[in-house]
Amino acid sequence: MRIAFIVGGFPKISETFILNQITGLIDLGHEIDIYARRSLTEEAVHAEVIQYNLLPKTHYFDLPTSRSGRVLRALRTLAIEFPSHPSAMTRCLNLRRYKSLYSVLNNIMHLPPFLSHRYDGVMCQYETNGVDFIFLKDIFPDLKFVTMFHKFMLGDEKGSHVYARLREHGDVFLSISDSYNRKKLVEFGFDNRRIVTHRLGVDVSNIEFKVRQKSPSQLNIVTVARLHPEKGLEYGIRAIRELIARENKVKIQYGIIGNGEHKAALNDLIVSLGMQNYIQLLGPLPTAEVIKWMHASHIFLLPSLAEGTPTVLLEAQASGMPVIATAVGGVGDIVSDGKSGFIVPPADVPALFSKLKYLLDHQEDWEKMGAYGRQFVEQYHDIKKLDRRLAAIFDGLVNGGIAESGVYASV
């Protein structure tokens, strides 16, 4: 099949789950093109981007941010495309159907590359892309449209009406968790028969399982996250400081892998707490380097204030270490509290400290927690199994239309 992936930015170092889906479907023999809302200038790039020659397969929209810029871009696009595709472009202009000038302008600017490429299906990552690109079903009625939901910022901020056209015309809605995501989809009025729980996956075959041995003199802790306030890194840093302040027998090192707009503020916090000899901001790293850091660490910490279902928690568990995370989003679906690690309330420094101290004092638990986490990831989040299942979903839509029969409701 020929499938168009619609994403935010590409290649994005933090979104390994998208890259894994793309390369997995290519490995299964499918033809993938990538449509990115914006180009990126990240320093680190995953090796698979080069290995699979994905950049030539990527179209960047890079739409103007100002309203005047969007109007001018849309008018130029309309002038170029209308003579060759009058019917399709006219349908994009239906203000009564699309409700807003913003949507009409987006339709005009997003449509052209799809006019010259025919796809069996579209795979939208994130709700925003599903909402903005569902208009393609009006232009290509036979196109199968799948949206993978991670967070629900649009619905939470603006209400369920923002999903009206996507709810009506989308073929399948992929939920990355049963507890959080599926419940939110139902809450926002999506047809339960078209909701499929399809978990995030990691390439387990590329993550060596390493038993964490007791370490009487050194404790290494690692976090992988965007440097953004919603990741709660301030609380993690403060909990680490508390641990260091109360522990004089073990040398403690904390590495934070990632990049983002909160970098300067976090660096200032580390300096103000006098922790620059213990806590490092390591910047963005490709997956192979991230896994090396995980293997060199004893505990994974993710103190988020908001999440969907964080892939890094799966990678950390697959590598064999216990994790500490917060009770947000779908975290409870992928971390077994007390078995593969611990889940604590968000923004709770004493709770984070308490679990860090417990794992430091009970190093005999590291091995069994790591083994439990690895087994869980292998059973439910192996990307190779999930990619075959995603391909089967598209195959069923294209060749059998089984989404309409309600078969997916029990998958």
Half-sphere exposure of 251 (CA within 13 A, CB side): 4
Rounded CA-CA distance 159/152 in Å is: 10
The CB density around residue 134, as the number of other CB atoms within 10 Å, is: 22
- Give CATH for domain 205-380: 3.40.50.2000
Instruction: Tell me what pLDDT residue 404 has.
Output: 40
| Whether residue 167 has pLDDT greater than 80 | yes
Instruction: Tell me what pLDDT residue 178 has.
Output: 80
185-243 pLDDT, tens digit per residue, is: 999 999 999 999 999 999 999 999 999 999 999 999 999 999 999 999 999 999 999 99
Distances, alpha carbon 112 to alpha carbons 61, 107, 145, 356, in Å = 10, 9, 18, 53
Strand order in the sheet with 121-125: 58-60, 31-39, 2-10, 121-125, 144-149, 172-175, 195-197
> 2-62+118-201+383-410 and 205-380: same fold?
yes
Whether 70 contacts 64, CB under 8 Å: yes
* Span 358-374, average pLDDT: 98
Rounded CA-CA distance 16/46 in Å is: 8
* Span 124-147, average pLDDT: 96
Task: Break the chain into its structural domains and give their ranges.
Answer: 2-62+118-201+383-410, 205-380
At 394, the amino acid letter reads F
Work out the burial of residue 281: count CB atoms within 10 Å of its CB; fewer than 13 is exposed, 13-18 middle, 19 or more buried. middle
- 2-62+118-201+383-410 falls under which CATH superfamily? Glycogen Phosphorylase B; (3.40.50.2000)
Instruction: Tell me what pLDDT residue 12 has.
Output: 87
Residue 259 pLDDT class (50, 70, 90 cuts) = very high
**pTM across the whole model:** 0.86
Instruction: Tell me what pLDDT residue 401 has.
Output: 55
90-124 pLDDT, tens digit per residue, is: 999 999 999 899 999 999 999 999 998 999 999 99
Rounded CA-CA distance 105/99 in Å is: 11
**Which residues sit opposite 279 in a β-bridge?**
254
Q: Which token pair is 156?
A: 């939470």
**Which residues sit opposite 174 in a β-bridge?**
148, 196
When the pLDDT of each residue in the chain is averaged and rounded to a whole number, the result is 93
319-359 pLDDT, tens digit per residue, is: 999 999 999 988 999 999 999 999 999 999 999 999 999 99
**List of residues 6+ apart from 129 with CB closer than 8 A:** 6, 7, 8, 37, 147
Instruction: Tell me what pLDDT residue 411 has.
Output: 35
